[in-house]
Chains A and B, each alone.
Chain A
Amino acid sequence: MADNTMGWDEFEIGAMLRSFDGPIKDIALTPQEERNYSPNNSFTASVADWRIEKPIFNKDYCIDCQFCWIYCPDVSIVSRDKKMLGVDYDHCKGCAICVEVCPTNPKSLLMFPEQEDEEAAIASWPEKEEKEK
């Protein structure tokens, strides 16, 4: 992995970067966990420190509609086999779009302060909101 202690003679020419270590067939059919990411792939990096608030996922209310998956700008909603599994906190920037688009009542994703404990957050989850008549 290129790092900023390296000298001019240690880089690939042309500042070229590879996405993966070694060849990969059918990338579009290979889930992220099965890919051999190169250390130069931003998948291996983290933007967790951008957040001051984080989304916490409460699967009790989730209907796996996948709105959060499709509208997440940061590929941070982990969905596999049509099920929402949780939030990828290495890549989530805390924009809260997932919370906004969540259609359940109460929401299955809510924003909490970054330091909030997940169990405590779920324990304090709000009740279903009554619709105003």
Chain B
Amino acid sequence: MAFDKMELNEIEVWDGNFAAAQALRQVQVDVVSAYPITPSTPIVEGYAKFLADGYVEGEFMMVESEHAAMSGCIGASAAGGRVATATSSQGFALMVETLYQASGMRLPIILNVVNRALAAPLNVNGDHSDMYLGRDSGWIQFDSYNPQQAYDLNFIAFKVAEDHEVRLPAMVHQDGFMTSHTAQGVKTLSDDEAYGFVGEFKPMNDMLDLENPVTHGVQTEEDWHFEHKARQHHDLMTKVFPKIEEAFDAFEKLTGRKYNIVEEYMTDDAEVAVVALGTSVETAVEVAKEMREQEGIKAGVIGIRVFRPWPFEYIAEAIKGIKALGALDRSSPNGAMGALYNELAGILVNSDEKAVLTNYIYGLGGRDLTKAHLKEIFKELKANADAGKPTTELQQFIGVRGPKLAYL
């Protein structure tokens, strides 16, 4: 059975979910093992429909839980083929056990994570709690800010993850509803261009090579475990970024669209900047422009494109000369500073840069981060820059009702 190619317009109006589904079709994923959850469901529904209509050739396993979804992905990937799925929030949390197993077995599975808050209390809207939950799981984490990027980064993710020097699973994140359900113009690749960019899947240690049996998922006790984990960390630290840069370059040549491991907006001369993930990056860029035009504040924005491995050196470079930084964390820190704050502090502590660093917790459960909020943040950062020290508490909650929440 063959499949038909799909004729796409140069620009299609797609939401982030459909853009991701189209990418899975275009790279001809061999097996999708999935379980529905809002807001990521349309991605795997899309693959199922493409399959039903004969636009993709593969197997769709609609399983009975997200844990089983990733378990099926692991079995399929170890068998030796291209594998992807999608999830959000509680489903992601249920998958966690298997996320570590997928990366520990070095299986290049692509997981589209449509970011959503974690219960309790239950909430279907976007925040980054699930993305943060995955940050120690040994996966590469790409972050998109709009449907175009959700589409493009899927191709990058497959290309990097499946590279035999990398062989690590990768997540492509997009914000629940804000990206996943917001239709925008998406510049497309033709089916041939897309497949050609990622290339045919090259198996490695594949179980289905019947003449070379392999054992996957062994037990390694104290004599071995540390070395295997060390190897995985080493590869994440040293092999992934060069391959991502290679893929970004090739993608730019193909499409003209340029991606960076850390996206910098107006940072060259910036005095203050916010560091953010997801759709907030785009809002912050718009506000930073307004701050420059209306308030004369040299504002910039640093968008994290690759959250794991953590781009330590890229950020160290990006923050040069900036006097005050605001770390925008969209996840409840539950008794600590936000993750971005801590990661940035780790960079600043041994740096010659003496930026004042403060932490803003915002947008939990899909609460809007408005332009007014960001204006206030930039103003506070400017005050910090001028004072050479924090003029506010180190951590503030933004956009929450009730008495002001600020700590330390």
Contact = CB atoms under 8 A, between A and B. Distances in A.
Q: Do chains A and B touch in the complex (CB under 8 A)?
A: yes
Contacts of B223: 4
A4 B226 CA distance: 11
Contacts of A27: 213
Interface string A1-33: 010101111011111111110011101000000
A73 B268 CA distance: 71
B215 A16 contact: yes
Contacts, number: 63
Interface residues on B, range: 20 to 34
Nearest to A22: B212
A12 B216 CA distance: 11
B212 A23 contact: yes
Interface string B128-164: 0000000000000000000000000000000000000
A48 B243 CA distance: 49
Nearest to B211: A23
Contacts of A6: 227
A7 B227 contact: yes
Given A14-B205, A16-B214, A17-B214, A8 B104 contact: no
A14 B211 contact: no
B181 to A, nearest CB: 37
A15 B212 contact: no
Contact of A25 (B211, B214, B220): B211
A95 B228 CA distance: 35
B167 A19 contact: no
Contacts of B202: none
Contacts of A20: 212-213
Contacts of A24: 211-213
A42 to B, nearest CB: 10
B235 interface: yes
A24 B212 CA distance: 7
Contact of A14 (B105, B212, B213, B234): B105
Contact of A8 (B167, B212, B218, B231): B231
B82 interface: no
Contacts of B220: 15
A15 B214 contact: no
B213 A8 contact: no
Contacts of A4: 223-224
Interface string B192-226: 00000000000001000001111110101001101
Contacts of B1: none
A13 B235 CA distance: 10
B215 A19 contact: yes
Nearest to B229: A8
A43 to B, nearest CB: 13
A19 B224 CA distance: 19
A19 B214 contact: yes
A8 B216 contact: no
Interface string B44-87: 00000000000000000000000000000000000000000000
Q: Counting chain B CB atoms within 10 Å of each CB, which of A4, A6, A13, A18 scores highest?
A: A13
Nearest to A2: B224
Contacts of B336: none
A11 B218 CA distance: 13
Given A4-B223, A4-B224, A13 B231 contact: yes
A16 B213 contact: no
Nearest to A10: B227
Contacts of B232: 13
Contact of A15 (B104, B213, B235): B104
Contacts of A8: 226-228, 230-231, 234
B25 interface: no
Interface in B229-268: 230-232, 234-235
A17 B215 contact: yes
B364 to A, nearest CB: 37
Interface of B: 104-107, 167, 205, 211-216, 218, 220, 223-224, 226-228, 230-232, 234-235
Given A6-B227, A8-B234, A14-B228, 8 more contacts: A4-B224, A8-B228, A16-B214, A16-B218, A17-B215, A18-B213, A19-B214, A27-B213
7 contacts: A7-B227, A8-B234, A14-B105, A14-B205, A15-B218, A18-B213, A25-B211
A-B pairs, top 9 by smallest CB distance, nearest first, are A14-B106, A23-B211, A8-B227, A8-B230, A17-B215, A4-B223, A19-B213, A13-B106, A14-B105
